[in-house]
Amino acid sequence: MLKNAVILLASTFLLQSDPFRFQPTFFEKYKQLLVNIRNYYVSPAEAEEEFKAIAAELREKYPLSGESVSPMVFPLVGSNYRAVGGRNGNGFYVREFDLFDQNVSGSHPAHDIFIYDRDRDCIDDRTGDYVDVVSVGNGIVVAVEHDWQEESIYKGGNYVWVYDLDRGGFWYYAHNRISVVEAGQRVRPGDKLGEVGRTGFNAAKNRSDTHLHLMYLELDENLYPYPVNTYPWLKEAETIYSSTTAPTYEKPWMPDFIRLDKSKKRNTGIKPLSSMPISIMPPSK
């Protein structure tokens, strides 16, 4: 009796002192949202509401620095803005864009950044090596895909989403050969996220040149995401010649008596996960 009372008091105190400590699925919410959008499990209005709730949680748990924004690093090691597709960055165009509705198309709200890879093996012909994709700034990894398969029809391939701790928006790095970070990791400018690749339904085709698909979504005062043309940022970004490794992410500690019994199925009301890889982006050019 006394033991149970102590456990109850301890758990109540810990939950009140750090409510996020006991939300091990915090970052899973974002990936789950991507799945639900992709599979039409939710309406655009429902997806928008969930996105804004997640963004609000991120803002609460990871307040913006409020200081000057850290200088931006170019997202490919050993490269610069000249690798950006299109003349003067005109590969970025927005006619219609809705993150929450896959039926809205006709835009390319991102920049494709290319490597020299004539034989399509993901190795840069100039260096004879894979090219690291790195974080452009300080952030938190919020969703990752590691296991895209060639038979998948989904377009983003192996991707990384990062919440920017200085700017307050979301970066999307797509088509990676591999992704090497996990949701929850903090990343700094120059930390390796993956390697340039050809994953994704269109990017895997031989007609596509090997590239990184880079998008930035800015949040307005209502936390609605809008794509931003980052070409001016990329022109000013620092070129680095080696990547660094992001600190290892340690999942929030949780005492055994609070851990969920995964053997017991619960009706959570969350739409079902798909076993397919995830992408909600339109085709890269």
3 state SS of 139:
strand
pTM of the entire predicted model? 0.81
In angstroms, the CA 143 to CA 136 distance is 16
Predicted local confidence at residue 225, as pLDDT: 97
In angstroms, the CA 153 to CA 163 distance is 26
Q: Going from the N-terminus, what domains does the chain have, and what CATH number goes with each?
A: 5-236 (2.70.70.10)
User: Do residues 143 and 252 lie in contact, with contact meaning Cβ atoms separated by under 8 Å?
Assistant: no
Show Cβ contacts of residue 150 under 8 Å, excluding neighbours closer than 6 positions.
204
Predicted local confidence at residue 261, as pLDDT: 42
Helix (H) or strand (E) holding 133: strand 132-134
In terms of phi and psi (left: phi > 0; alpha: psi -120 to 50; beta: otherwise), the region of 180 is: alpha
Predicted local confidence at residue 122, as pLDDT: 97
Predicted local confidence at residue 83, as pLDDT: 97
Tens digits of pLDDT across the chain (285 residues): 554 444 444 444 444 444 444 454 578 899 999 989 988 999 999 999 999 999 999 999 998 877 678 789 999 999 999 999 999 999 999 998 999 998 998 899 999 999 999 999 999 999 999 999 999 999 999 999 999 998 888 889 999 999 999 999 999 999 999 999 999 999 999 999 999 999 999 999 999 999 999 999 999 999 999 999 999 999 999 999 999 999 987 665 545 444 444 333 333 343 444 433 434 344 444
Give CA torsion, residues 92, 93, 96, 101, to 10 deg: -10
